[in-house]
Amino acid sequence: MLVQSIDNFEKINPDVLVVSLFEGEATHVDFVNKFVVETKDFEGKYNTTYLIPTLGQFPAPKILVLGCGKRAEFNQNKARVLIAKAIKTVAPLKLRRVAFDVDFGFDYGKFGTIGAYIGNYSFDKYKNKKTERVDEVYFTKVCPAEIEKGELIAQAMTFTRDLANEPAAYATPQKLADIALGLEGVETRVYEEPEIREMKMGAYLAVGQGSVNPPKFIHMKYSVENPKKRIAIIGKGICFDSGGLDIKPAASMLTMKDDMAGAACVLGIMSVISRLHPEVEVHGIIAACENMPSGSAYKPGDILTAKNGKTIEVDNTDAEGRLTLADALCYASELGVDEVIDIATLTGACSVAFGAVCAGILGNCDELVRNVKDAAFEIGEKYWELPTYEEYANGLKSEVADMRNTGGRSGGASSAGLFLKEFVSNVKWAHIDIAGVAFLDAPLNEFIKGSTGSGVRALLNYICK
Ligand code: BES
Ligand code: MN
Ligand code: ZN
């Protein structure tokens, strides 16, 4: 899709012109005194639209009026949702060249571009009949540089959404490794199974040992001279989570190709990071594997030794994400970075508590958690803090090992977070649980069903601050 800044929509002959109407501000939209659109009973309530055919009397055959709600309550996030809504409204009508001449009162170039990409998104690679899409988007009253920033963020999101929407048969650990090796502007090293064993990642290895597809430990690095900060981001990379021998029921297993949404987020970020060129060193880390039941699978009751020497009794093979992350966190703790952030579809408990509305976040440094949360909110992702009271770790005690991998059903998102904390040393750390938000089983706001690319916008905004 092409997105461009223009000063005058008349020059480009759009298929549709999109205009804005704020509640209580006007009953009609008047363009340079040439064409007055009667909006009649359309009140301009937020997230409503009104389509008008112009019958040859105007430079565009259709005008779409966007209801923006009250101006005092308007903001960049609403602008993004509305642009996405406009794209979704006109695309099925085969209106492929879309000009926006909206009066939002601020430069919406970045947010509008992200919104346009989200609204235009569909995953139809495997369908013979493709979804109708918009080809060209033009914005008036925006700065081209803002569009450019938006495009990189939006392209990263699309990359992540596509990858997380792919079936597990496609998005294997090997595939994730190949993608990482092909990225421009980052150095990538992939550790094979024998090397993972040498690094003593016993928890991660156990999770992957039941699959015919071997694990791949992926380390990407974006470097700059004299970085003002060094950050490592770790994405949970379970390419399929069957639950292992503690197998999931059919309904819960159906979406478990998405259990690598955290990894897809990290790959999406690394795919654009060199073009955004922040003065921050960024490490992207993925301990990719599949959690499968088989004759070689790890078993409930097994005792594993993680990279930092801590031993873990396997209480449930379906609590596998934290085992892979444990070793990845040990690895990241040894990189000499200032901050480590992990992002993971970690617990059903987080999804139950927050639904698809917001992600959970916790960590060992209030300031880091607050800054990540603020950066997320600013660019349209919602995070809510999970409690870290030490009692949440009570259930993680084991009689035969240093800990066990589950902490009981209640408070599951917090106990999982406290489990991870055991593998972080001498570094600021935040953990983001995207189990509820990474993929949708019904459309929400500007997103269709399926992968949302959670974490991409938020972490890019945080890194590029
Ligand atoms: N990948 C799941 C978490 C999940 C659940 C993500 C639903 C998205 C939607 C994770 O590996 C898992 O199975 N967690 C278990 C942990 C339990 C066994 C302690 C869970 O949440 O039920
Ligand atoms: Mn699981
Ligand atoms: Zn999982």
Q: What pLDDT does 237 receive?
A: 99
The residue among 154 and 26 whose pLDDT is bigger is 154
Q: What pLDDT does 10 receive?
A: 86
Q: Which amino acid is at 100?
A: F
Q: Could you read off the pLDDT of 10-52 as tens digits, one per residue?
A: 889 999 999 999 998 876 666 654 667 777 788 899 999 999 9
Q: To which CATH superfamily is domain 153-463 assigned?
A: Zn peptidases (3.40.630.10)
CB of 438 within 6 A of ligand 1: the answer is no
Q: What pLDDT does 32 receive?
A: 52
Q: Mean per-residue pLDDT for 347-364? A: 98
**What spacing in Å lies between the alpha carbon of 434 and ligand 3's midpoint?**
11
Confidence check: pLDDT of 427 > 60 = yes
Q: Mean per-residue pLDDT for 199-214? A: 98
Confidence check: pLDDT of 188 > 80 = yes
Confidence check: pLDDT of 122 > 90 = yes
Q: What pLDDT does 56 receive?
A: 84
Q: What pLDDT does 24 receive?
A: 87
As a whole-number percent, the residues of the chain with pLDDT over 90 amount to 93
Rounded Cα distance, 203 and 303, in Å: 9
Ion ligand 3 — residues with CB < 5 Å: 238, 241, 259, 321
Q: Could you read off the pLDDT of 61-89 as tens digits, one per residue?
A: 999 999 999 999 999 999 999 999 999 99
CB of 319 within 6 A of ligand 1: the answer is yes
Q: What pLDDT does 59 receive?
A: 87
Q: What pLDDT does 386 receive?
A: 98
Confidence check: pLDDT of 270 > 80 = yes
For the domain made up of 3-143, give the CATH fold: Leucine Aminopeptidase, subunit E; domain 1 (3.40.220)
Q: What pLDDT does 326 receive?
A: 99
CB of 318 within 6 A of ligand 1: the answer is yes
Q: What pLDDT does 29 receive?
A: 66
Q: What pLDDT does 120 receive?
A: 98
CB of 258 within 6 A of ligand 1: the answer is no
Q: What angle do CA 425, 431, 434 make, to 5 degrees?
A: 155
Return mean pLDDT, the chain: 96
Q: What pLDDT does 35 receive?
A: 67
Closest CA to 462 of 275, 280, 272: 280
Q: What pLDDT does 20 receive?
A: 93
Q: What pLDDT does 4 receive?
A: 98
Confidence check: pLDDT of 293 > 80 = yes
Rounded Cα distance, 48 and 88, in Å: 12
CB of 454 within 6 A of ligand 1: the answer is no
Each domain of the chain, given as residue ranges in start order, spans 3-143, 153-463
Q: What pLDDT does 55 receive?
A: 87
CA 405 to ligand 1: nearest atom? 19
Q: Ligand 1, from 247, 318, 415: best to mutate by most atoms within 8 Å of Cβ?
A: 318
Phi/psi at 262 (5° precision): -65, -45
Confidence check: pLDDT of 279 > 60 = yes
Ion ligand 2 — residues with CB < 5 Å: 241, 318, 320
Q: What pLDDT does 40 receive?
A: 72
The two domains 3-143 and 153-463 share their CATH topology (first three levels equal): no
Confidence check: pLDDT of 280 > 80 = yes
